[in-house]
Amino acid sequence: MAFWRRNSYVEKERRVKANAQDYNDKFSYADNHIKTSKYNIFTFLPVNLFEQFQRVANAYFVVLLILQLIPVISSLSWFTTIVPLVLVLVITGVKDATDDYFRHKSDQQVNNRQSQVLIRGGLQNEKWMNVRVGDIIKLENNQFVAADILLLCSSEPYGLCYIETAELDGETNLKVRQALTVTSDLGDVPKLMDFDGEVICEPPNNKLDKFTGTLYWRDNKYSLDNDKMLLRGCVLRNTEWCFGMVIFAGLQTKLMQNCGRTQFKRTSIDKLMNTLVLWIFAFLICMGVILAVGNTIWETWVGRRFEVFLPWDEFHNSAVFSGFLTFWSYIIILNTVVPISLYVSVEVLRLGHSFFINWDQKMYYSQTDTAAEARTTTLNEELGQVEFIFSDKTGTLTQNIMIFSKCSINGQAYGDVYDEFGQKVEITEKTACVDFSFNPLSDRGFKFYDNGLVEAIKKEDPAVQEFFRLLALCHTVMPEEKSEGNLVYQAQSPDEGALVTAARNFGFVFRARTPETVTLWEMGRAVTYQLLAILDFNNVRKRMSVIVRTPQGQIKLYCKGADTIIFDRLDQSSEDLMYTTSEHLSEFAGEGLRTLALACKDLDEGYYDVWMKKLLFVSTVIENREDQLALLYDEIEQGMKLLGATAIEDKLQEGVPETIACLNLADIKIWVLTGDKLETAMNIGYSCNMLRDDMNEVFVISDHTLLEVQKQLRRAKEHILSLSRVSSQGNIEKTDMFTDDSVFEEAIIAEYALVISGHSLAHALEPQLEHMFLDLACLCKTVICCRVTPMQKAQVVELVRRHKGSVTLAVGDGANDVSMIKTAHIGVGISGQEGMQAVLASDYSFAQFRYLQRLLLVHGRWSYYRMCNFLGYFFYKNFAFTLVHFWYGFFCGFSAQTVYDQWFITLFNIVYTSLPVLAMGLFDQDVNDQNSLRYPSLYKPGQQNLLFNKRQFFLCTLHGMTTSFLLFFVPYWAFSVMVKEDGSVFSDQQAFSVTIATSLVTVVSVQIGLDTHYWTAVNHLFVWGSLIVYFAILFAMQSDGLFDIFPNNFPFIGTARNCLSEKSMWLVILLTTVVCVVPGLVVRFLRMDLFPTLTDKVRHLQQSRKKQGPQEQNLKRVRRTSSRRSAYAFAHQQGYGELITSGKNMKMSTVSSACTPERTSCGSNWIENMLKRKNEVSCMSQQTAGAPESSTRAKQTLMQQHTN
């Protein structure tokens, strides 16, 4: 960063005073203006040129241009270098300016949003960029939060408000925030104008889930936490209005702190080309020195004989000085080994590849009218070399949509569809849905396919009715009826919304609630239950219960939760049903569904009264209140009767398991980095088949101390390496355990997975543990990091990028993924429901995760293949073209005389050979897209950088040097023995030049024809058209007419006509072409016949099947068979049960006035506890986080399935 941007003042704490702008200005806090662009109108030219001249070739051509401006050493015109150089700089600059223009446009759109700010006694509309720290702003429903603000008051009771944080964490479920009690009544402008509180808090940071501060007001101080803050990027929902005080603005908001810096990304081929240009420059120097020494020797021994009629210039008075000048002359002549047109062509190719991505209809998502977009044009070939993919979960792998899929009620499973023969039928889009027309309040978007469940409801089966009654009562969902029958549920999590919606469609409609009651619409009649207590969910209990009084006066407890927890609390009478239900749960879990057990209990009036008195007493205890409440809850939840189980599908995006399986076959490692809880992340891992029961081990790291994390990492690594070494070598001493671990990374056959929590990851990323963590992670087939912060995501990517040297790709959909996307070599944004922050920061974007498969295996592999072939051919043809001058130097007295006509030198790379190589670089395919997807192993050469590397460069240059040698000496030998038809000899240099030039154009055209595997009309036009254009220009430039007009510029008058009219000359050209091409053709034939690559085999197979037409890829979805239950409850946060029973989240008009004193007391304690615990992250117990036992079954990998 430049010195003028450095801020010597490090903020240790922030002091903000409301309605005191002069006071706040003293601290020079950032304003609310944001900037994600790289340039402005003043910095664009210097900064962009600086970035462009980081390419060694650009600097190299500037030096050549300077040399060409010196007449005494230049034998070529200066315009042959400056025109292409300026063209390259302008094209690249325009592209960079266009990209940055859209960033400016996006910034301007955000900065110009309107917000209502309290100024001079009234609310005024201000642009977001004019909002400053300390301002009090008003937000209205569905508005974005302009800055990080402290919530002061809202339209809801008790200062509550609801927000959606999709832009921050990708989650679309609502979250609750509450203002301090002392500020919650500041609901009108005069009171807010008088508010002069001062906040002292933490300095700006990137921790989205933490905030620490204190409000000082009226000689009192009040503790502030994240529960009181609304962060920039959130959206206000279901709240008419709220007021807040700006604490952090602009680039200092937590959202922007997590965005990371925009980096200048370059591909590995760009970096390699920089190295190769240095090599070529060194080679050029060597050739210049050899020819300069030759000139000195020649001038000393031979040249002095010609001084009589070719005297030296005044300053040119020695052979050594002549050699010095010759050195620079040859540097200019031979500079075409790296022509500037190479970089123009590379930019054109990248632009073309980007358009192919944008135009690909198979990556277009019609439901949202979203096409794939290459937002940068510089990274396309890097897409063909990816080894690590870092993916977010919510919104990227999943749709964040929960669907009630199946259930088990009283031992009967529902949800599957059977045909008339009793065979299970796969459910597709064409499968007929259940008709819910009998229920006028049903949700039309709900789909279920088993008619048996509807029939059971219509028959008024008591068990089925009790099942759905539980789902309609036992939850913390808030209903909103916008019009008669138009119900909208606001759920704490999508899981709860799915369950309540299912009950609604099957005739048990949750209609309304108050702190005291829950009203259902049961099969067309209203039924109101008195809500006596909510025993809320947390991560230790893994269940929630409600106690209600039925209209008949009976007291009932309804409970739902993890099956292992519920089964331990069942009455003995449910034992047989438990075994049946357990079998159903195993089937549901085997399909990757998130399961949940349901139970109920009838309570005696006397027992309930005694228990409630205990509850009221424990609710007032100060010490160990939560533990005592848990014991009391557990007491009443014993001896329950099992009702059944539910199975919810956490709906993956279409094609996710198949895409992951295909990418795994391509040897791409996929790491999931998510902010979700450990169990939720593992559930999705199983659903995606990233985790499977036939894996040898799933290591779960979830400790909180550095020492414990170190022990777990070491133990897991020792386990993998010891098993691998013992299986291959027998028993080995433990002291040799970690020697040469990298050798074993490629040789591990067993499959392992690593799941690590955010707390443990923080320690694992410490310098003393990062190598151990990375080694273990790379030994595992699957890595899942859960509960990670946005900055931790970037740190994980940076760790792999720094130490593995592999190409990394990060894919996400929310603002919490931006830093990860910017850190990776390639950033991909999913344009979904969670906003556009990730897309705006990405290099590529599309609508569905499954398109990543086509982006990498088709477009990425093709781009890499085409670029490598293009570079190899380009260096070959230019060495063949340029080094003829080197051989000619030994026969022209090392005088820096060019072999070719100057116009041929100028036009060779621009006209004669530019279009054929561009056509090959744009359209060539080794195999088609179907086979690229069908055989993912074709992707591996790119990862190993096999198609273009230093070795391949050496072979290309050797081929070019050999061709240049033959191009010179075959015509040279022929001219020495050949005569014209009239008996005269070919002795003129111009005829020799035309022969070599024609042979060169013919040879490189034939060679590109042999190198092209996929011919299009464009390829034919450019290859044969370039040959025709060459001869047309050759005869035109050597015609009498041009010589008469420009005698000094076109000296080769009539040479082409005289030379090419001789049959023997065409024989020489043919002989030269055959001698240059055939050896390479023989080598290629022998290699393909004796040592065929996978690409050769697939291409041969493709050609043999060409008559059968294209075949669609058929990667079958692999269903997981598992005994592992994935309970939905694990995905929950601390519940909102106490908030509901307190009535604080409801409008005043809906709160019952008949609340008893005892009830009010109990409610106040619940709300107090909830507010303390609502956003705390409960840690998994060691038993829950334990890894599943190793499977003893024989493992059949996806590759084996694919091969078979």
Q: pLDDT digits over 177-210, tens only?
A: 889 989 988 888 888 998 989 999 999 987 777 8
Q: pLDDT digits over 452-502, tens only?
A: 899 999 888 999 999 999 999 999 888 877 777 778 887 777 788 899 999
Which is more confident, 256 or 23?
23
CA atoms of 612 and 698, how far apart (whole Å): 44
6-10, 81-85, 86-90: segment of lowest average pLDDT: 6-10
Give the number of C-alpha atoms closer than 13 A to the C-alpha of residue 782, restricted to the C-beta side: 25
- DSSP assigned state of 507: T
* Confidence label for 606 from pLDDT (cuts 50, 70 and 90): very high
Contact call for residues 256 and 232 (beta carbons, < 8 A): yes
Cβ neighbours of residue 1117 closer than 8 Å, sequence gap 6 or more: 657, 658
Long-range contacts formed by 713-719: CB under 8 A, 24+ apart: 713/764, 713/769, 713/772, 713/773, 713/776, 714/772, 716/752, 716/754, 716/776, 717/772, 717/775, 717/776, 717/779
Which is more confident, 36 or 1182?
36
CB atoms within 10 A of CB 107: 17
- DSSP assigned state of 292: H
CA atoms of 1060 and 120, how far apart (whole Å): 91
- DSSP assigned state of 114: E
Contact call for residues 505 and 439 (beta carbons, < 8 A): yes
Q: What per-residue confidence (pLDDT) applies to 1203?
A: 39
Helices (H) and strands (E) in the chain, counts: 42, 36
* Confidence label for 796 from pLDDT (cuts 50, 70 and 90): very high
Q: Cα angle vertex 595, ends 592, 600, to 5°?
A: 170
The amino acid occupying position 1002 is T
Q: What per-residue confidence (pLDDT) applies to 308?
A: 63
Contact call for residues 528 and 1126 (beta carbons, < 8 A): no
CA atoms of 145 and 137, how far apart (whole Å): 10
Beta-strand pair 160-164/782-785: unpaired
pTM of the model: 0.75
- Mean pLDDT across 91-108: 82
Alpha-carbon torsion, ordered 108, 111, 115, 119, to 10 deg: -120
Q: Which of 31, 148, 169, 392 is catalytic?
A: 392
* CB neighbour class for 1198 (10 Å; exposed up to 12, middle 13-18, buried from 19): middle
Q: Which of the residue ranges 93-102, 262-271, 737-746 has the most confident prediction, judged by mean pLDDT?
A: 93-102
Q: What per-residue confidence (pLDDT) applies to 1169?
A: 41
CA atoms of 292 and 327, how far apart (whole Å): 5
- Phi (first) and psi of residue 293, to 5 degrees: -65, -40
Cβ neighbours of residue 761 closer than 8 Å, sequence gap 6 or more: 785, 788, 792, 796
Q: pLDDT digits over 102-151, tens only?
A: 878 878 888 888 899 998 878 899 998 899 999 999 999 889 999 999 99
| Secondary structure, 3-state, 1022-1070 | HHHHHHHHHHHHHHHHCCHHHHHHCCCCCCCCCHHHHHCCCHHHHHHHH
- Mean pLDDT across 801-810: 91
Which is more confident, 919 or 57?
919
Could you identify the residue written with the tokens 């982006």? 855
Cβ neighbours of residue 541 closer than 8 Å, sequence gap 6 or more: 535, 561, 565, 630, 633
Q: Cα angle vertex 175, ends 170, 177, to 5°?
A: 130
User: Which strand (E) or helix (H) includes residue 246?
Assistant: strand 241-248
Q: Does residue 1204 surpass a pLDDT of 60?
A: no
Strands (E), 281-421: 373-374, 386-391, 398-409, 412-414, 417-418
List Cα–Cα distances, 75 to 25, 72, 337, 1049, in angstroms. 65, 8, 16, 13
User: Which strand (E) or helix (H) includes residue 137?
Assistant: strand 136-140
Contact call for residues 508 and 522 (beta carbons, < 8 A): yes
Q: Which of the residue ranges 18-32, 616-630, 1028-1042 has the most confident prediction, judged by mean pLDDT?
A: 18-32
Mark whether 926 is an active-site residue. Answer: no
121-135, 363-377, 1055-1069: segment of lowest average pLDDT: 1055-1069
- Mean pLDDT across 583-603: 86
Nearest CA among 446, 363, 454, 464 for reference residue 405: 446
For every residue of 201-213, DSSP letters joined together read EPPS---TT---E
Q: What per-residue confidence (pLDDT) applies to 1107?
A: 61
Contact call for residues 78 and 70 (beta carbons, < 8 A): no
For 749-784, b/e burial (b = at least 16 CB within 10 A) is: eebbbbbbbbbbbbbbbeeebbebbbbbbbbbbbbb
Q: What per-residue confidence (pLDDT) applies to 64?
A: 78
Q: Does residue 642 surpass a pLDDT of 60?
A: yes
User: Which strand (E) or helix (H) includes residue 150?
Assistant: strand 148-154
Alpha-carbon torsion, ordered 169, 172, 174, 175, to 10 deg: -10
Q: Cα angle vertex 944, ends 941, 948, to 5°?
A: 75
CA atoms of 409 and 598, how far apart (whole Å): 9
CA atoms of 254 and 419, how far apart (whole Å): 55
Q: Does residue 1161 surpass a pLDDT of 60?
A: no
Q: pLDDT digits over 256-295, tens only?
A: 887 656 666 778 888 888 888 888 889 999 999 999 999 8
The amino acid occupying position 886 is F
Q: Does residue 710 surpass a pLDDT of 70?
A: yes
In the chain, % of residues over pLDDT 90? 36
For 845-859, b/e burial (b = at least 16 CB within 10 A) is: bbbbbbbbbbbbbbb
Q: What does pLDDT average to over the chain?
A: 82
> Quick one: CA dihedral 235, 241, 242, 246, positive or negative?
positive
Cβ neighbours of residue 682 closer than 8 Å, sequence gap 6 or more: 691, 755, 784, 786, 1126
User: Which strand (E) or helix (H) includes residue 555?
Assistant: strand 555-561
Q: pLDDT digits over 534-553, tens only?
A: 898 876 788 899 999 999 99
Strands (E), 638-751: 641-652, 669-673, 697-701
- Both tokens of residue 63? 């030096």
Could you identify the residue written with the tokens 């059968």? 1108
CA atoms of 400 and 398, how far apart (whole Å): 5
Q: What per-residue confidence (pLDDT) applies to 725?
A: 54
- Both tokens of residue 252? 């200092």
551: alpha, beta or left? (left if phi > 0; alpha if psi -120 to 50): alpha
* CB neighbour class for 602 (10 Å; exposed up to 12, middle 13-18, buried from 19): exposed
CA atoms of 174 and 606, how far apart (whole Å): 39
* Confidence label for 1180 from pLDDT (cuts 50, 70 and 90): very low
Which is more confident, 610 or 1112?
610
CA atoms of 147 and 131, how far apart (whole Å): 8
- Mean pLDDT across 585-595: 80
Q: Does residue 800 surpass a pLDDT of 90?
A: yes
